[in-house]
Chains A and B, each alone.
Chain A
Amino acid sequence: IAGITQAPTSQILAAGRRMTLRCTQDMRHNAMYWYRQDLGLGLRLIHYSNTAGTTGKGEVPDGYSVSRANTDDFPLTLASAVPSQTSVYFCASSRRGDSRYGYTFGSGTRLTVV
């Protein structure tokens, strides 16, 4: 089934550790996104990529980095995790980088930083 795969599903991480959240899509969508979801704050954009080889910063990029080596993969890295990065992380994609078509979302990664 075409869609977005995120891994891991959940993770408990010690503060200060490095962690990479994986995101893979098989729809050949050009654009990909990382959001975090926090209670009362909705979804906030962390980073995005309109096409392979390019990335951009969203609303809350500090403490996170991304890369887009190819069309299918868009990993999100926390270089040194802090408790405030405890959240549910969603990867999404869109056709041709045009948000007017809407996004397809993965099932999320629940991250707890202790």
Chain B
Amino acid sequence: AQSVTQLGSHVSVSEGALVLLRCNYSSSVPPYLFWYVQYPNQGLQLLLKYTTGATLVKGINGFEAEFKKSETSFHLTKPSAHMSDAAEYFCAVSDQGYGGSQGNLIFGKGTKLSVKP
């Protein structure tokens, strides 16, 4: 079965510092990977996704993620944090087509990002 592990339920950085949110997945076939962002009292918004092709994926608001098959990782980064980046971030993998599944997204437990002035 597909699964996603997000390392660190809470990450705190200073404004202007590098943001690094970690995500590891398990899969026996090439995965489709996603990062979603949830601002307070809002729904989830798609930040970026990896399907096939280039392993470095650029998303909205200056975020990017790199798919590393050898490490089964899809870490999210941003060179310089802004106060507006404070939110919860969810990594997800698609299990489309595996073992007769319905092709649902499997989410990690989320990482809450705090940005200090």
Contact = CB atoms under 8 A, between A and B. Distances in A.
Contacts of B34: 102
Given A42-B109, A48-B104, A102 B43 contact: no
A61 interface: no
- Most A CB contacts (10 A, CB to CB) among B36, B42, B43 go to B43
In this complex, the interface size class of chain A, counting residues with CB under 8 Å from chain B, is 20 to 34
B32 A105 contact: no
A102 B104 contact: no
B9 interface: yes
Interface residues on B, range: 20 to 34
Contacts of A97: 102-103
Given A42-B107, A42-B109, A48-B104, A99 B43 contact: no
Interface of B: 9, 32, 34, 36, 41-46, 49, 51, 90, 94-96, 102-105, 107-110
Interface of A: 4, 33, 35, 40-43, 45, 48, 50, 56, 58, 90, 92, 97-100, 102-108
